[in-house]
Amino acid sequence: MKALAGIDIRHTGVGHMILQLARIVLITAGALGGFAVSREIDWTAQTGFSEGSVIFILIILGASIGYVLGGILGRELTSAYRRVERRIADLETPSLLLGAMGFVAGLFVAFLISSSLLRYIERPQWLGLGATILLYVFGAYAGISLFTLPGRETGGLWPGSAPLAGGRPPKLLDTSAIIDGRFAELARAGLLEGPMRVPRFVLMELQMLADSADDTRRARGRRGLDLLTTLSSAESAGVTVIEADFPEIPTVDAKLVRLALSSGGTLVTVDYNLTKVARVEGASVINVNETAEALRPVLLPGDALHIAVNREGKEAGQGVGYLEDGTMVVIADGADAVGSEVDAEITSVLQTSAGRMVFARFQERS
């Protein structure tokens, strides 16, 4: 938390400096503009005020307009600065080097073009100056884009999405998947290929759960944080925290969907509603529950089971047991066998949105 506080204080200081600098520049420009306007027209004859009063009023008016516009421009520049700073901070060193090379190459190409073509634009002078500036800006942007294109194709230009062999997209873990914990086993089994990333806003949500006054929420949050702490140093299922954020988006789920769409990453979750929303918006998503359901053994009517009967069912005479994967098995006339293990034969399998339910009966002795 101290590190985060330090980052926030630094960002606040830089943002305040940019805001004040923009205001100073535009206040000065507004004041000079007001003075220039006062010299262009004979305001004394038109208003009846003295020359000094007219100059003072116009300077104050220009400075006030500059103050308002400076505040707007300063906030926009501060927001842009923070986005650029986060983007640069999250880039890998190869991407930074490629971007710098592209920047220099773009400026060089723009210099060659401006030297050979724009010298013919002599009148008006402002047109040649504007064209030169636009050419240099376009050249720098095109150079950076072309040199970093391979990195973008494998997700290298987005926070925490450094390209790996084969271009495997990063896996973005949401809060529910971290608390659930089964993603780690899937990764160790090779079913979740690619780097696993946890956005900072997800980590903050976990911390809020761990600090909650509710015992259940606090236990869930601490479980997730403990799992991340364990995996952070594991070679087989390492997890990296990234600084990606979307301050304009209020909810964590919406931020995750935007991050998945922007970075080309795959969202990993156990949240049913988040899975549906992400798929509607076109994001790649892996639902751990769906994966676990797909990996369950196929059960067909007539298959034999050896199962322990744990309790009585809702209907009279029924007994209920559970398979190793948690599937509930309802055994007809199994109430008298509670507490013992029996051999049963599957009669039907019911698939519901909540999971799978198996109905069985005692296996007939041959």
Task: For residues 13 and 114, state if they share a domain.
Answer: no
Residue 167, pLDDT score: 56
Q: Pick from 73, 90, 107: which residue ends a domain? A: 90
Give the whole-angstrom CA distance, residue 34 versus residue 37: 5
Residue 155, pLDDT score: 42
- pLDDT over 50 at 287, yes or no: yes
Task: For residues 202 and 118, state if they share a domain.
Answer: no
User: How many CB atoms lie under 10 A from the CB of residue 358?
Assistant: 23
Task: Tally the domains of the chain.
Answer: 4
Residue 345 lies in a domain: yes
CATH number of the domain that residue 302 is part of: 2.40.50.110
Q: What are phi and psi of 73, to 5 degrees?
A: -65, -40
Residue 159 lies in a domain: no
Task: For residues 85 and 6, state if they share a domain.
Answer: yes
Size of the chain in residues: 366
Residue 158, pLDDT score: 43
- pLDDT over 80 at 60, yes or no: yes
Task: For residues 187 and 270, state if they share a domain.
Answer: yes
Residue 161, pLDDT score: 41
Contact 319, 343 (CB under 8 A): no
DSSP code per residue over 29-91: HHHHHHHHHHHHS-HHHHH---HHHHHHHHHHHHHHHHHHHHHHHHHHHHHHHHHHHHHHHHS
- pLDDT over 60 at 237, yes or no: no
CATH number of the domain that residue 171 is part of: 3.40.50.1010
| Residue (of 240, 63, 269, 45) closest to 162 by Cα position | 240
Task: For residues 259 and 173, state if they share a domain.
Answer: yes
What pTM, to 2 d.p., does this model score? 0.47
The arithmetic mean of pLDDT across residues 41-48, rounded, is: 71
Give the whole-angstrom CA distance, residue 192 versus residue 252: 22
More confident residue, 61 or 238: 61
Task: For residues 49 and 34, state if they share a domain.
Answer: yes
Residue 215, pLDDT score: 85
Task: For residues 134 and 171, state if they share a domain.
Answer: no
Give the whole-angstrom CA distance, residue 266 versus residue 75: 33
169 DSSP 8-state letter: P
Residue 11, pLDDT score: 46
Percent helix, strand and coil across the chain, each rounded to 5?
60, 15, 25
Task: For residues 22 and 9, state if they share a domain.
Answer: yes
Which pLDDT band holds residue 296 (cuts at 50, 70, 90)? Answer: confident
Residue 161 lies in a domain: no
Residue 162 lies in a domain: no
Task: For residues 63 and 104, state if they share a domain.
Answer: no
Residue 160 lies in a domain: no
Residues whose CB is less than 8 angstroms from the CB of residue 95 and which lie 6 or more positions away in sequence, other chains included: 148, 151, 156, 157
Task: For residues 343 and 290, state if they share a domain.
Answer: no
Query: What angle, rounded to 10 degrees, do the helices at 125-147 and 93-116 form?
Result: 150
Residue 241, pLDDT score: 82
Which pLDDT band holds residue 4 (cuts at 50, 70, 90)? Answer: very low
Give the whole-angstrom CA distance, residue 161 versus residue 177: 19
pLDDT, tens digit, 9 for 90 and up, residues 205-227: 888 888 888 888 888 888 888 88
Residue 359, pLDDT score: 92
Task: For residues 176 and 276, state if they share a domain.
Answer: yes
| Residue (of 93, 236, 238, 243) closest to 156 by Cα position | 93
Q: Pick from 277, 294, 311: which residue ends a domain? A: 294
Query: Among the ranges 55-64, 108-117, 164-173, 233-242, which has the highest mean pLDDT value?
Result: 55-64
Which pLDDT band holds residue 95 (cuts at 50, 70, 90)? Answer: low
Q: What is the mean pLDDT of the chain?
A: 77
Residue 127 lies in a domain: yes
Residue 10, pLDDT score: 43
- pLDDT over 60 at 236, yes or no: no
Residue 309 lies in a domain: yes
Task: For residues 86 and 96, state if they share a domain.
Answer: no
Residue 156, pLDDT score: 41
Q: Pick from 153, 178, 205: which residue ends a domain? A: 153
Residue 203 lies in a domain: yes
Residue span of the structural domain in which 330 resides:
297-362
